[in-house]
Amino acid sequence: MAGSADSSKTPSISWQHICRKKAYKRLGLKDFKLWNKATNAELVWAISMKKDTLGVRWVHGRYIKEHTWWDYNPKPNCSWYWKKVCQIKRT
């Protein structure tokens, strides 16, 4: 019987409710999908601004070369992660 105290069924709780702040009497977990998208967007920003870091210089030397960042499209043999980073600049 669903809803009884003896039920062995795990209650369904949406991820959005779990990720709310503790002040709202929730668990306060980070929404890792959103967190990952934000950190990748930060990387896209750093690449577009040609931030002077080793990683960004490597990306420009390895992938972008003579292209501009906004016109660049990844080649089919690039890594899946690099394709995801390039996908974020379009969203």
Q: Mean pLDDT, to the nearest integer, of 67-89? A: 89
What is d(CA 62, CA 65) in angstroms, rounded to the nearest whole number?
A: 7
pTM over 0.85: no
Confidence (pLDDT) at 45: 92
What is d(CA 58, CA 35) in angstroms, rounded to the nearest whole number?
A: 24
Per-residue pLDDT tens digits for 22-62 = 666 556 667 778 888 888 889 999 999 988 999 999 999 98
Considering only residues 56 and 10, tell me which one the structure prediction assigns the higher pLDDT: 56
Q: How many CA atoms lie within 13 A of 8 on its CB side?
A: 0
Which residues have C-beta within 8 Å of that of residue 46, sequence separation ≥ 6? 53, 55, 56
37 in Cβ contact with 85 (< 8 Å): no
pLDDT higher than threshold 50 for residue 1: no
